[in-house]
Amino acid sequence: MALAITLFLFLLISTCKATDPCASVSDGSDLAIDHIYGKCSPFSPPKPASWLDTVLGMASKDPARVTYLSSLTVMKSTVPIASGQQTIQTGNYVLRTKLGTPGQLMFMVMDTSSDNAWVPCTGCAHCSTTLFNPTNSTSYQSLGCNMAQCTQMKGQACTAEAGPCVFNQSYGGDSSFSATLVQDSLTLGVDQIPNYAFGCINAIAGGNIPPQGLLGLSRGPMSLLSQTGPLYQGTFSYCLPSFKSYYFSGSLRLGVAGQPKNIKTTPLLQSPHRPSLYYLNLTGINVGKKPVVFPPELLTFNPTTGAGTIIDSGTVITRFVQPVYAAIRDEYRTRLNGTVSSLGAFDTCFDTSVNPIPPPITLRFTGMDLALPMENTLIHSSSTPLACLAMAEAPNNVNSVLNVIANLQQQNLRILFDLPNSRLGIARELCN
Ligand SMILES: *[C@@H]1O[C@H](CO)[C@@H](O)[C@H](O)[C@H]1NC(C)=O
Ligand SMILES: *[C@@H]1O[C@H](CO)[C@@H](O)[C@H](O)[C@H]1NC(C)=O
Ligand SMILES: *[C@@H]1O[C@H](CO)[C@@H](O)[C@H](O)[C@H]1NC(C)=O
Ligand SMILES: *[C@@H]1O[C@H](CO)[C@@H](O)[C@H](O)[C@H]1NC(C)=O
């Protein structure tokens, strides 16, 4: 009987999903999170490559992303701007948002390491076709150089008090945009946020600007958390969809209500050198039960230099500084049978038919061990019995030690950012 009910419910759920798997919009303050190349994203390619190839393509952009993250210092960023269109975006997840009155639907990239929000606006040079049209919104206002918000914008070049607040920022390592600071109503699920300040993009250069804009969830003074104050009380959590399929959606839950109560946590740290980023105190890494051996200072958090470990929504596979990664990889390889091969960014791929029990990896943080589920450790080929360790070394042009906990390692986990209590929580959750 119980089985029959379970089966019935399963069929019922699958039938609902079959009608429109992308219809699940929002539930209270929960917003659907989709892979940018997932089925429910408008950026899903008409003839998709294999999902493994898509992930490989996305991971190939990580070095540019990590270089970009390391450039987010209080000093002026000096990221070189490359020209030319690239097809793979560094923003990995999109949120359905509405801007203006009446609301115009925009699929904005969610980025936990960005301060601001920005969208391409009507008249934008080199932008895609979906643009926010300010003239159609009754609540739109542009913000001048004399406004307090303008002084918070990086890359702002105001000369006259009276002029519009125009700024130029780099993004993703090889792209830039020029925008005017404006404000309008932002709708996230059931929440309407009046007078939200964001950049209205006039022109882009390079191929890495998210086509329908970006919503920054970092700590910066212009981020969603800072602009919403008491509404979300500096609290949000997300569950990123599984990398197994492009049909899956995750969720972003904004505010204190509905957040998990019993959750393991570790302190969230902040560096005045890179004030926007979410730093964690990673103290060690285990392969199987064995702690990997490397000089401990390679993980040490240093607020002054910004060295340490961050958690990021826009990097695909976790990156460790070279000696740390080499130690993990060498330890991992000693457990494997048969030959090891490389595939794109992955240098430790193996035959799963002779390695039925690959060793688990545990990330040890202050107060919290995260034993990575197997799917958060490996990426599997669907056609051959091949799996690869889904981690790599950080690019060596980064001028200070920066380890990045990336999104493949975060899938199917609820990650809670609790800024008032300076802590980050992680709990297992099937988010699809
Ligand atoms: C938005 O504005 C443009 C011109 O600025 C107009 O062509 C279009 O019909 C408007 N759309 C709506 C929904 O009002
Ligand atoms: C932003 O500024 C840089 C440096 O001056 C410039 O190369 C780039 O073209 C600008 N971007 C846009 C979109 O105007
Ligand atoms: C990080 O963890 C190490 C080892 O437990 C500890 O000595 C250090 O004080 C911690 N750092 C911070 C900033 O919490
Ligand atoms: C390697 O092969 C041995 C013997 O068949 C097996 O016990 C072990 O679990 C294998 N290693 C992995 C990583 O699966």
Q: What is the pLDDT of residues 250-297, one digit of tens each?
A: 999 999 999 999 899 999 999 999 999 999 999 999 999 999 999 999
Query: Which residue's alpha carbon is at the smallest distance from atom 11 of ligand 4?
Result: 355
Which has more pLDDT, 27 or 227? 227
User: What is the per-residue pLDDT for 2?
Assistant: 40
pLDDT grade, residue 344 (50/70/90)? confident
CATH topology (fold) of 264-428 = Cathepsin D, subunit A; domain 1 (2.40.70)
Ligand 2 midpoint to CA 352 (Å): 48
Query: Which residue's alpha carbon is at the smallest distance from atom 12 of ligand 1?
Result: 136
Pocket test for ligand 1, best of 136, 137, 139 (most atoms within 8 A of CB): 136
Domains 24-254 and 264-428 share a fold: yes
Q: Is the pLDDT of residue 7 over 50?
A: no
- Beta-strand relationship, 175-188 and 166-171: antiparallel
| pTM of the predicted model as reported, rounded to 2 decimal places | 0.89
Q: Which residues are designated catalytic?
A: 111, 312
Q: Is the pLDDT of residue 399 over 70?
A: no
pLDDT, mean of residues 382-406: 86
Query: Which residue's alpha carbon is at the smallest distance from atom 7 of ligand 2?
Result: 81
Q: Calculate the dihedral angle through the C-alpha atoms of 146, 151, 153, 159, rounding to the nearest 10 degrees.
A: 60
Domain 24-254 has CATH 3.90.320.10: no
User: What is the per-residue pLDDT for 19?
Assistant: 47
Ligand 2 midpoint to CA 153 (Å): 15
> Where exactly are the structural domains of the chain?
24-254, 264-428
CB distance 133 to ligand 1 below 6 Å: yes
**CB neighbour list of residue 58: distance below 8 Å, 6 or more residues apart:** 37, 88, 89, 90, 92, 316
How remote is the C-alpha of 120 from its chain's centroid?
Answer: 20
Ligand 3 midpoint to CA 416 (Å): 21
User: What is the per-residue pLDDT for 8?
Assistant: 35
Which has more pLDDT, 48 or 374? 374
Q: Is the peptide bond before 102 cis (omega within 30 degrees of 0)?
A: yes
Tell me how far apart the alpha carbons of residues 238 and 113 are, in angstroms, rounded to a whole number. 14
Ligand 4 midpoint to CA 360 (Å): 14
Query: In 10 A of CB 81, how many CB atoms?
Result: 12
CB distance 301 to ligand 3 below 6 Å: yes
Give DSSP secondary structure letters for 216-236. E-SSSTTSHHHHHGGGTTTEE
| Token pair in block for residue 364 | 């040890």
**CB neighbour list of residue 341: distance below 8 Å, 6 or more residues apart:** 349, 350, 386
Question: pLDDT by residue (tens digit) across 356-389?
Answer: 999 999 999 999 999 999 999 998 887 889 999 9
pLDDT grade, residue 397 (50/70/90)? low
Rounded to the nearest integer, the mean pLDDT of the chain is: 86
Q: Is the pLDDT of residue 27 over 90?
A: no
pLDDT grade, residue 14 (50/70/90)? very low
Point out the ligand 4 atom lying closest to the alpha carbon of residue 337.
Answer: 1
